[in-house]
A = this chain, B = another copy of it.
Amino acid sequence: MKEIRIGLLGLGNIGTGTYKALEMNREKIEKLVGGSVKITKILEKDIDRERDITVSKEQFVDSIEAITEDPDIDIVIELLGGVEPASTFIEKALLAGKHVVTANKAAVAASWEKLNAAAKKTGVQFRFEASVGGGIPVLTPLAGCAAVNQYTEVLGIVNGTTNYILYKMTEEGMSYEDALKDAQVKGFAEADPTADVEGIDAANKLSILMAIMFDRYIPPTQIPRAGITGITKEKIEEAREQDCVIKLIAHATLHDDGSFTYEVRPTFIKNYHPLAGVLEEYNAVYIKGNLVGKLMFYGPGAGPLPTGSAVLGDVTEIARSIV
């Protein structure tokens, strides 16, 4: 039986979740692949941290080269997060002829051209389903079974932290500050919530969606954006009076006249719109295509196991093609 060997970069929350997800569903995954799937090396400094998985210390390595220069490794999973050193490591792996799977929206969005060029150069697969919408299968269907459409619009609730905060403000009348605190207690917001509440994370995801759907790469720093820090109880009430809810929407439109607009900002969404029913920390991507009309993909936008689901989905597709 063919063995697929994986090098894992990062064993934090998402890395641990992905490792655990593979252990939990190994039987089904190996049946899908038609071969065995094994994480053989892990690049991680924090060897002694308590994790609810069993990892042999011999798996840990302390340099990226120990993985990229290992001829036995077929696939590299990058779960370090952040633009650097992740982008450099991904590029190095691609140029070394390794297929790469990542959940890292910041790196994919910032380094789109460089990373895709590297994958093309060595003819390997570069997959990042988990980078937008966490566990939701959305990029693969948009680039695959629905790609026969000419897309005209995307509206995404692609940040769970802000959706949770706005949900709490809407449903329970909380102030922004209280809702943020609640999100932090529940683990839906980080101690420094800037990237989420200022729309930076959503802009990264919009950049990736636009590149996939419209074949247009707009660096995330060039996407106009407004976050949710200015949303008040009064604004929530104003929306309610118009039969709307406020959602942080990542929005791009290809207009009839050929012009293309994009932005991330809090938006009034009518109560009957499918996006209005995306509650709590859930995510959804709503798109329009010239054949299919309207589609929506809904699910968990974050979390170790859901993200692990999307990462392992990419790994499985690559492993199938190898086997």
Contacts and interface: CB of A to CB of B under 8 A. Distances in A.
A305 B28 CA distance: 35
B135 A313 contact: no
A179 interface: no
B313 A146 contact: yes
A101 to B, nearest CB: 11
A14 to B, nearest CB: 13
A290 B145 contact: no
A239 interface: no
A274 B293 contact: no
Contacts of A316: 145, 147-148
Interface string A258-283: 00000000000000101011110000
A26 B106 CA distance: 34
A114 to B, nearest CB: 23
B296 A298 contact: yes
Q: Which secondary structure characterizes the binding site on chain A? A: mixed
Interface stretch (A60-68, A78-86, A136-144, A246-254): A136-144
Contact of A298 (B129, B145, B291, B295): B295
Contacts of A137: 141, 144-146, 295
A25 interface: yes
A301 B226 CA distance: 35
A185 interface: no
Contacts of A135: 291-293, 295
Given A21-B148, A292-B305, 11 more contacts: A29-B148, A135-B292, A144-B313, A145-B316, A274-B277, A291-B305, A293-B300, A294-B300, A295-B298, A295-B299, A296-B297
Q: Which 7 A-B pairs have the closest CB atoms?
A: A145-B313, A277-B277, A291-B309, A137-B141, A296-B298, A135-B292, A295-B299
